[in-house]
Amino acid sequence: MSQAEVGDDRRESGPLARRLSALCDDTLARLRPGPGRDMVQQVHAKLRAPLTVTVAGGVSSGKSTLVNALLGQRIAAVDAGECTRVVTEFRFGVHERAEVVGVDGSVAVIALDRGRMPDHLGRPAEEVERVVVHLSNALLRDLAVVDTPGLNTVTESNEATSARFLGVSGREGEQTASAVGRAEALVFLLPVLRQADADVLRGFASLLGGSSLSSSASVAVLSKADRLGRTADPVTAAQPIARRMATDLRGVVSDVVPVVGLLAETARAAVFTEADARALVAVAAVTDPFDREDMFLSPEDFLRTDLIDLEPAVRRRLLSLLDLFGLQVAVKAVDGGARSAGAMLRAFEQRSGFEALRRAVIERFAGQSDVFKANAAVSDLRRASYLRNDADNATVLRGLRTPLERIELEGSMHRLRVLQVGNAVATGTVSLPVGLLDDVAALGAGDDSAMSRAAAAEGASRWGAWGTDPRRSPDEARHARVMKAAFELRWQGASR
């Protein structure tokens, strides 16, 4: 990330990030120009920038649609094209533009097309490393959002692409400045209930061994909940499925949230108009339940029906905004008295399930931004300390290890250590029984106020017993001590 990219979105850091920023300042003052200095400089810049939330998932899982819903504007490309094949970062900037960063390091600035990504990037997608889009969007003051190309499976080829993006490529100790991991929090989309999609998520998580992500900073989304079955309330119907998947993916993600992605985008992305509302009132004028059922059997039936007097272009637009489930939501809203665009948009957002995802991403992730960013910085700086291709700075870089160890041992950094246990679980470094996995997820969520003294004492005892079992490895015993100490801190807090 260049200084130009950071300049538009620099913000006040939290106490943990400030402590690590001071370590970067001290180190940079003693580093000579070279890969090590570049790497520490990028860590320093990331500490002062908003938290980076990466959206990933399979091909056609609805990533760009969900990005648009999060941003509250239809900016990310949703149709197959150049833009859907490259990493696209959305960051805050008063001067709105897109910067196309080539694999050769060149940067070309292109104008947005009426507030949306242009159809062409000016060069083939194979020659583009990423696109950085600067928007004067309030959300981006607190979070940077990254849209990634789709994954069908984690194969050797897309593993290399994903690993390069995450900043975990290259042999251990041979990373360069470009290897600073970019993902600080993850939203992974699972469009329908298929074992293959869960396997893709596990495969993607296996790439995170060199990054700082843990289950606490990761959430999975059933992004097309309306495709799981024809029900009047698919989000509610999908909740048991989401709970089963959350259990199956325990240790990889913190939660699984069902969402109707297209309905969420239409509800939030400022694309629905009063003309669309009037058209939906006309659709709802068909009151016979059997006629309605016939009209919504398939998109083709809606386009062909002679029960409504709407032009084909208007019908296609309504389908593109709502699909069949959204159309039925709209008709029910009109039956309940909705006539304006605003009233229908409220119904769309309520039925989309987006609020649960908004809380997870905008409140939980943003609320823990300081600890997530500190966790990423510690991981990146430790990797920098083992850099082997910068002989001029080797001594100074090795000198990072001692202050990093001191920082991690401080009581104020206990949440950081819990996240590191979560990272070990997510990447398969340590395997835990179910009850202990639940502890890692609960403590990683960062809600210290929700635990009683009795629960904290039981947790400390549970981890103490597990960690002192002679069958534990040294790493397992170390993680157990971290978790036991975290529960003891919560016991002290509950006592006060």
Domain 3-260+355-367 is found in CATH 3.30.1490.190:
no
DSSP code of 59? T
- Which is it for strands 128-135 and 185-190: parallel, antiparallel or unpaired? unpaired
Q: What is the CA radius of gyration of the chain?
A: 24
Helices (H), 194-297: 195-205, 234-237, 239-248, 261-268, 274-284, 289-295
Choose among 42, 40, 70, 41: nearest CA to 54. Answer: 70
Strand, helix or coil for residue 444: helix
Choose among 17, 425, 476, 7: nearest CA to 216. Answer: 425
Strand, helix or coil for residue 97: strand
Choose among 323, 363, 357, 325: nearest CA to 66. Answer: 357
Q: Which two tokens stand for residue 2?
A: 């260049």
Task: Answer yes or no: are the C-beta atoms of 403 and 47 closer than 8 Å.
Answer: no
Give tens-digit pLDDT for 329-381.
999 999 999 999 999 999 999 999 999 999 888 888 888 888 888 888 888 89
Domain map of the chain by residue range? 3-260+355-367, 270-351, 411-496
User: Is pLDDT above 70 for 172?
Assistant: no
- Max Cα–Cα distance, the chain, nearest Å: 79
Q: Which of 210-249 are b and which e, b meaning 16 or more Cβ less than 10 Å from the residue's Cβ?
A: bbbbbbbbbbbbbbbbbbbeeeeebbebbbebbeebbeeb
Choose among 24, 10, 9: nearest CA to 374. Answer: 24
Separation between Cα atoms, residue 18 and residue 22, nearest integer Å: 6
Task: Answer yes or no: are the C-beta atoms of 290 and 275 closer than 8 Å.
Answer: no
Separation between Cα atoms, residue 258 and residue 186, nearest integer Å: 16
Give tens-digit pLDDT for 381-417.
998 999 988 999 999 999 999 999 888 777 667 777 8
Give tens-digit pLDDT for 112-148.
887 788 878 888 888 888 899 999 999 999 899 988 8
Give tens-digit pLDDT for 44-65.
998 988 988 988 887 788 888 9
